[in-house]
Chain A
Amino acid sequence: MNFAAPLLLSLKLSLVTMVLLFVIGIPFAYWLVFSKTRWRFLVESVVALPLVLPPTVLGFYLLMIIGGNSFVGRWYEAIFDKTLAFSFEGLVLGSLIYSMPFAVQPFQTAFAGVDRRLLEASWSLGRSHVYTFLSVILPLSRQGIITGCVLSFAHTLGEFGVVLMIGGNIPGITKVASVAIYDEVQSLNYGSANIYSAILLSFSFIILAVVYFINRRFVRTV
């Protein structure tokens, strides 16, 4: 088996998840901040669930929902001619949900932190909500957006329980680095496990160091 494959797969999964969470998370966070519905707290609670749930619980329900016997699973299989569970796409879906709070919450905090009077100034200068979002809220939230993207990337990289539950351990398809470590330890290959672990550890540390460095720089300049 190719030694680098699980690492590359982890990176690919993290990257895809991060990009999708950026695309989905930005409008979602905007809605959470500016929606006037009183049921918002329920949606927020659902988004935050992965923070407190054991990943196995999340993985279990996801498997129930996308598994071969479920409605979604059969529907997916009918259209794409393959199963959603135990596939890379399934992993992406799981990661999206699992890492969602790590992207959405920083986005949300950043949007909510933009001085409301700036938005009012923009509206009273004749600019639409969309224009205001793109020209005022987004640029003033860049710190939170970078944090959200990096954290969702790093969190997906460290994903284990959900992946194992809905992806299994298929080399090249669903066997990501964290699963590979588990696998190597099970086979008593402590050397390989150590290498994977060291790489993940250094990588995670570097990512977090970059986030904290960027945050500190923003604090200084603004």
Chain B
Amino acid sequence: MLNISLQKTWKEFRLDVAFEIPRGKVTALFGPSGAGKSSILRIISGLEMADSGMISYGKDVWFDETKGIHLPPQQRSVGFVFQDFALFPHLTVERNVAYGIKGKKRLNELNDLISLVGLSGYERHYPAQLSGGQKQRVALIRALARKPDILLLDEPLSALDWETRRQLQEDLKSIVKQFHVTTLYVTHDITEVYKLADYVIVLESGRVVKQGTSEEVFLGKKLSTRIQIVGKVIGIESDSIMASVTVMHDDQYFKTLIDTEEVDRLNLKVGDDVVIGAKSSDVILFKVLTQP
């Protein structure tokens, strides 16, 4: 368990949060930009210092203002994945990944690590020769290579195009799972929260406003439905009784009919993030027959 309680005041902004991050799970830190998400990551990693509070992982205290403890980033077992990758431009993929690895023995694992993110064959390439998605894979495996206790991801997919982002979401999930690493994932994309996170902490203007599972947080209750499609509203057409809401998800369109009053109640607009839920008993499956 990573225990965090911290306060810090900037000129016109105050961060005051306290929460716990469950061990071995992926926790999303969700909120609009300017809510203080990235600052929290930087303070946890030791790159910035809080005015007061305490950060501890299990028995290890990383920061305790009252006792004057402030471990430098080097002494905290964290892996940090930056939004814009922060790969060393003068080092090859191989040397980037090996950068944080100490000891010759561990270097033998290098090839396994690189192939784990699907970059075998790119060992001697420089970052400038890679695509955005490949760069972020290097950044991810570089952070994991020294086997940190905590993995911190600062909007790792936001610099990537939509298609690459979707692919990386899947890979990220499986890779993080393989490492059993306690993960804190900063994002402002609700789809990523649904896809990746076991637990969500919602941040607004430097304060935690909600926390729980995605359903608890975003729907206010546990859904009895089993089928959920997360997406963006791309169209609303309505006549007098019903409205048809078109949602895009993973490049596919889903249309659902709801009461026009619901559209008003939810204040639905094109571009909003939404979840379509359905009871599993209402779902009919068909087997797709392949043409002979």
Contact = CB atoms under 8 A, between A and B. Distances in A.
B80 A120 contact: yes
B89 A117 contact: no
Interface string A24-48: 0000000000000000000000000
Contact of B73 (A117, A123, A135, A222): A123
Q: Is the interface of B mostly helix, strand, loop or mixed?
A: loop
A13 to B, nearest CB: 34
A128 B88 contact: no
A117 B100 contact: no
A123 B76 CA distance: 10
Nearest to A140: B90
Contacts of A140: 89-90
Contacts of A127: 74, 99-100
Interface in B35-74: 45-47, 72-74
A125 interface: yes
A97 to B, nearest CB: 33
A214 B146 CA distance: 37
A117 B74 contact: no
A123 B72 contact: yes
Contacts of A123: 46-47, 72-74
A128 B84 contact: no
B88 A120 contact: no
B38 to A, nearest CB: 12
B89 A121 contact: no
Interface in B70-110: 72-74, 78-80, 82, 84, 86-90, 99-100, 102
B142 interface: yes
B157 interface: no
B2 interface: no
A166 B99 CA distance: 50
Nearest to B152: A124
Interface string A133-153: 001100110000000000000
A124 B99 contact: no
A135 B90 CA distance: 10
A93 to B, nearest CB: 36
A117 B84 contact: yes
Interface in A27-71: none
Contact of A124 (B73, B89, B90, B102): B73
A126 B102 contact: yes
B186 interface: no
A127 B143 CA distance: 12
B74 A120 contact: no
A139 B90 contact: yes
A125 B101 CA distance: 8
A118 interface: yes
Interface in A183-222: 222
A122 interface: yes
Contacts of B87: 121
B99 A122 contact: yes
Interface string B127-155: 00000000000000011001000000000
Contacts of B89: 140, 222
Contact of A125 (B47, B72, B90, B99): B99
Interface in B3-54: 45-47
A157 to B, nearest CB: 31
A124 B88 contact: no
B84 A124 contact: no
A120 B100 contact: no
18 contacts: A115-B86, A118-B86, A120-B80, A120-B82, A120-B86, A121-B80, A121-B82, A122-B99, A123-B46, A123-B72, A123-B73, A123-B74, A124-B79, A125-B79, A126-B100, A128-B74, A135-B88, A135-B99
Interface of A: 115, 117-118, 120-128, 135-136, 139-140, 222
Given A120-B82, A125-B100, 15 more contacts: A117-B82, A117-B84, A117-B86, A121-B82, A121-B88, A122-B88, A123-B73, A124-B45, A124-B78, A125-B99, A125-B146, A126-B100, A128-B74, A135-B88, A136-B88
